[in-house]
Structure 1
Amino acid sequence: MNAVTSNAGGNAIEIAALRSDRFRLDREADWRRLEAIVTRMEKGRLRGISDEDLLALPGLYRTVASSLSIARETSLDAATLAYLEALVQRAWFVVYGPRSSLTEWLHGFLGGGWSAAVRGIGFEILVALAVMVAGVAVGWLLVSHDPEWYFTLVGRDMAGARVPGATAEALRGTLFGEREQDGMSVFAAQLFSNNAQVSILSFALGFAFGIPTLLLLIHNLALLGAMGWLYHGAGLLTDFAAWICVHGTTELFAILLSGAAGLHIGRALAFPGNRPVLQATAEAGRRAAVVMAGVVLMLVVAALLEGFARQLVDDTFGRFAIGGFMLALWCAYFFAFRGGARR
C-alpha cells in the first residue's frame, strides 16, 4: 500500500513538473522578449529598442499578465510564479507608470502648469470672487439689522471676546499684543481650520452643478462680514483688515481658487457643450485637480504666515505690507507669469 501511495505521489509530482515545463516552453519566448525590452527601458537605452518592440510592448505585457493569472490558478512551481510576478510588476511601471520624476513634475507644476490651470478657470474665478464679495456684504447687513445673527454666523465658541457690545479697548486687545495671548493662537487655529475645510468642501461639492459651492462661499464670507461689522462699530475696521490681511490674502485666495475649481467641474457637468458629459467632466477635473494641488501649497503658506508673521508683526502698516506683498506675488504668478508649460 505504501509503495502504491509513493508511486502515485511521485507520478503527481512528475506530471506537475512536466506541466510547468510545458507551460514555460510555450510562453517563454514572449517572457524573455518582454524582459529584454523592460531591462533596456529601465537602463534608459531607448535607442536600442526597435519600433517593432515598442509597438509590441503593451501586447507583451498583457500576455505575460495573462500567463501570471494562469500560473496562479493552476498552482505552478514557485520559481515560475516569482519570476512572472516580478516581470509583470516591472513591466507595469514601464507601460503605465509615471513618465517623470518628482523633481521634473515639480518643475513643470511650478514652472507654468499651475498658473496655466488657474488661468484656464478664469471665468469661474470671477464668479467665485463676486459670490465671496456678496457673502461679506450679506454677513455685514444681517448683523447690522439684528446682532443676534452674529452668533449664528460666527458662533459663540469661536467669537470669544469678539461679541457685540464689547468695548473698543477689549476688541483692540484681540488684534495687538498677540505674542502674549494664547487665546489668539487658538482663535487663529480655529479660523485656519475652518477655511481649510471650506477650501476642500468647495472643491468636493462642485460635482452638484456648483450650487453647494456657491452657498458655502457665501456662508463662509458672511462670517468675515459679520466680524468686519463688529470692528467697524469700534472704529477698528482698518486694524482688523490688516490683522486678516497678513494671511488672508493667501488663505482667501486659496478659498477663491478652490471654489472656482469646484464651479469649473459643476459647469462642465451642467454645460458640456458639444462634448460628451464624461469627457467634459474629465477634462475639467484634470484642470481643477492641478489647481487644488496648488491650493494645498497656498494653505501651507497661509498657516506659516498665520503662525509666525502675524504674531511677530504687531503693527497695522507692517501687516498690510506683508499681506499686500503676498497678494501681488500670487497675482503676478497666476496672471503675469507664463512659464514654459503648455495648456
Structure 2
Amino acid sequence: MNEAAREHETVQEHSLRQSLASFRSDREAGWKAFEALLDRVEKRSPKALAEEELLSLPMLYRSALSSLSVARATSLDNALIAYLESLCLRGYLYLYGTRRGLAPRIASFFLHDWPAAVRDLWRETLVSFALMTVGAIAGFRLVAADKSWFDAIIPPSLAGGRGPDASAEVLRTMLYDGGSGFLSGFAAYLFTHNVQVAILAFALGFALTVPTVLLVLLNGCMLGALLQVYSSKGLGIELGGWLAIHGTTELFAIMLAGAAGMRIGTRIAFPGDLTRMAAAARAGRVAASAMVGVTVMLLFAGVLEGIGRQTITGDVTRYAIGGGMLAFWLAYFYLVQMVAHGES
C-alpha cells in the first residue's frame, strides 16, 4: 500500500513538473518581453519605446495578470508566483499609477500636504506651545531671582558681559541701531540655534520625546531670560517688537518641529495595535511633511530678520509685521484649508 502511494506521489510530482515546464515555455517569452519594456521606460522615459512597443504594454500586462491568476489557481511554484506578482505590480504602477512632474508635486505640497500635516499635529503643537511658554516663564523668573542664571542660560561668550548689568541706554541702542553689538550677535545665534533646535527636536523625537521636550523648554528659557533683562530696564515692549518681526514665524516653526518629534516619540511609546516600527513609519510620514515646511518657515524668518532688524525701527511697524505673519500662518494652516475642504 505504501509502495502504491509513493508511486502515485511520484507520478503527481512528475506531472506537476511537466505542467510547470509547459506553462513556462508557453508564456515566459511574454513575461520577459514585458519586463524588458518596463526596465527601459523606468530607467529612461516612454520616449525610449517605439509606438508599437508602447501599444503592446497593456496587452503584455493583461497577459501577465492572466498568468498570475493561473499560477495561483493551480498552486504552481511559489517562486514563479512571487515573480509574476512583482512583474504585475510594476506594470500596474507604470500604466495606472499617478505620475506627476516636479511643479505639480511642489504645488500639491504647499496646497495640501504641508497644511494637512500641520493640522494633523494640532494636539502636539498645543503641547509644544505650552512647553515653550513654561520655559519662557521659568527663564524669566530664574533671571529675576538671580541674575547669574542669565549666563547659565545664554552662553557668556555670546553675552560678552552685556546682560543684566548693561544699562538701559546700551540695551536701547542695541534695539534700534541696526543690530551691532550684543543683540546683533544674539540674533544670528538665535537663528542658527533655532535651526538646530528644529532639526534636533524632530530627529530626537525617536527617544520617546524626552530630548524634544527639553529642547523646546530650553528655547523658551532663552527667550524668557532675555525678556527679563530688557523688561527690568523698561524695554520689554521694545524687545517684543524687535523679536516679533521674525519671531512669530521662527518660534512657530520651532513649535511645529517639536510637535513633529513628539508625534514620532509618542507613537513609538504607544504604538497601539501596530508594531513600533509600523507606528513610527506612519507617524513619520506626517512629521516629515511638516518638517519640510518648517525649513521653509525658517528661511522666511531669516529673510525677515535680516531685513527687518536693520531697516525697521518703529515699534508699531514691528508688531504689525510680526502679527501679520502670525495671522498669515494661522490662516494658511487652519482657516483657509479647513474652509476649502469643508472641515469643521
TM-score (norm: length of structure 1)? 0.75
8 Å CA contact 2:158, 2:182 repeated in 1: no
CA change 1:303–1:269 in 2 (3 A) is: same
Matches within 5 A, 1:309-328: 309-328=308-327
Taking the aligned partners of 1:224 and 1:249, their CA distance within structure 2 comes to 12
Matches within 5 A, 1:166-177: 166-177=166-177
8 Å CA contact 2:174, 2:184 repeated in 1: no
The corresponding residue for 1:22 is none
Taking the aligned partners of 2:248 and 2:306, their CA distance within structure 1 comes to 15
Q: AA paired with 1:305?
A: L
Q: AA paired with 2:46?
A: K
The corresponding residue for 1:148 is 148
The corresponding residue for 2:61 is 53
Cα deviation for residue 310 of structure 1 reads 2.1
Q: Deviations over 1:155-190 (max 9, x none)?
A: 1122236411211101001100216x3765443211
- Percent identity over the alignment is 40
8 Å CA contact 1:40, 1:48 repeated in 2: no
The corresponding residue for 2:282 is 283
8 Å CA contact 1:178, 1:184 repeated in 2: no
Taking the aligned partners of 2:101 and 2:62, their CA distance within structure 1 comes to 21
The corresponding residue for 2:220 is 221
Taking the aligned partners of 2:56 and 2:30, their CA distance within structure 1 comes to 19
Cα deviation for residue 34 of structure 1 reads 2.8
Matches within 5 A, 1:37-186: 37=38, 42-43=45-46, 49-50=57-58, 53=61, 56=64, 99-160=99-160, 162-178=162-178, 181=180, 184-186=183-185
Question: How well do the aligned residues superpose, as a CA RMSD in angstroms?
Answer: 3.3
Matched residue of 2:337: which SS? Answer: coil
Q: AA paired with 1:111?
A: L
The corresponding residue for 2:237 is 238
The corresponding residue for 1:251 is 250
Q: Deviations over 1:186-208 (max 9, x none)?
A: 43211100111011111111001
CA change 1:47–1:337 in 2 (3 A) is: farther
Matched residue of 2:234: which SS? Answer: coil
Cα deviation for residue 105 of structure 1 reads 1.3
Matched residue of 2:280: which SS? Answer: helix
Is the aligned partner of 1:304 residue 2:303? yes
Taking the aligned partners of 1:98 and 1:218, their CA distance within structure 2 comes to 43
Cα deviation for residue 51 of structure 1 reads 6.4
Cα deviation for residue 216 of structure 1 reads 1.0
Cα deviation for residue 99 of structure 1 reads 3.6
Taking the aligned partners of 2:56 and 2:41, their CA distance within structure 1 comes to 7
Matched residue of 1:261: which SS? Answer: helix
Q: Deviations over 1:102-132 (max 9, x none)?
A: 2121111101210110111111111111100
Cα deviation for residue 278 of structure 1 reads 1.8
Matched residue of 2:284: which SS? Answer: helix
CA change 1:125–1:54 in 2 (3 A) is: farther
Matched residue of 1:220: which SS? Answer: helix
Matched residue of 1:337: which SS? Answer: helix
Cα deviation for residue 50 of structure 1 reads 2.1
Comparing both chains, which one has the higher relative contact order based on Cα–Cα distances under 8 Å and sequence gaps of 6 or more? 1
Unaligned runs of 5+ in 2: 1-27, 69-78, 84-89
Cα deviation for residue 35 of structure 1 reads 3.6
Q: Deviations over 1:280-335 (max 9, x none)?
A: 11110110000000000001111101111221111111111111110000000111
TM-score (norm: length of structure 2)? 0.75
CA change 1:135–1:184 in 2 (3 A) is: closer
Matched residue of 1:314: which SS? Answer: coil
The corresponding residue for 1:336 is 335
Count of residues in Structure 1 that have an aligned counterpart in Structure 2? 288
8 Å CA contact 1:38, 1:94 repeated in 2: no
Taking the aligned partners of 1:125 and 1:98, their CA distance within structure 2 comes to 32
CA change 1:54–1:241 in 2 (3 A) is: farther
Taking the aligned partners of 1:341 and 1:51, their CA distance within structure 2 comes to 39
CA change 1:237–1:183 in 2 (3 A) is: closer
The corresponding residue for 1:33 is 34
